[in-house]
């Protein structure tokens, strides 16, 4: 891989890290909102939706990590 493409991947990695940080902040806010719900409300459809959102955001964070790892491998 030439330097130009390596630099392009570096730029993508920087953007990816920023996007990951944004998603992580949303995930933390949603987790906090769920954790602050009374236990009875956690079992309601809204509470279950919040818990599912936290789980989906966790999955998205893992996907960001996998993408970053693959891009690092590509530029090596």
| Average pLDDT over the chain, rounded to an integer | 97
Which pLDDT score, from 0 to 100, does residue 51 have? Answer: 97
Cα 46 to Cα 34: distance, rounded to the nearest angstrom: 10
- Domain span at residue 57? 3-75
Which pLDDT score, from 0 to 100, does residue 76 have? Answer: 85
pLDDT tens across 35-46, in order? 999 999 999 999
Domain count along the chain:
1
Task: Give the Å distances, CA to CA, from 57 to 5, 13, 28, 37, 42.
Answer: 30, 19, 9, 19, 18
Q: What is the mean pLDDT of residues 11-19?
A: 98
Cα 25 to Cα 18: distance, rounded to the nearest angstrom: 11
Model confidence, pTM: 0.91
Cα 76 to Cα 74: distance, rounded to the nearest angstrom: 6
């Amino acid at each position: 891989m030439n330097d130009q493409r390596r630099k392009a991947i570096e730029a993508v990695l920087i953007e990816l890290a920023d996007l990951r940080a944004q998603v992580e902040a949303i995930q933390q806010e949603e987790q906090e909102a769920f954790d602050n719900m009374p236990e009875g409300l956690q079992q309601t459809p809204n509470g279950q939706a919040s818990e599912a959102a936290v789980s989906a955001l966790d999955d998205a964070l893992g996907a960001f990590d996998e993408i970053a790892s693959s891009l690092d491998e590509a530029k090596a």
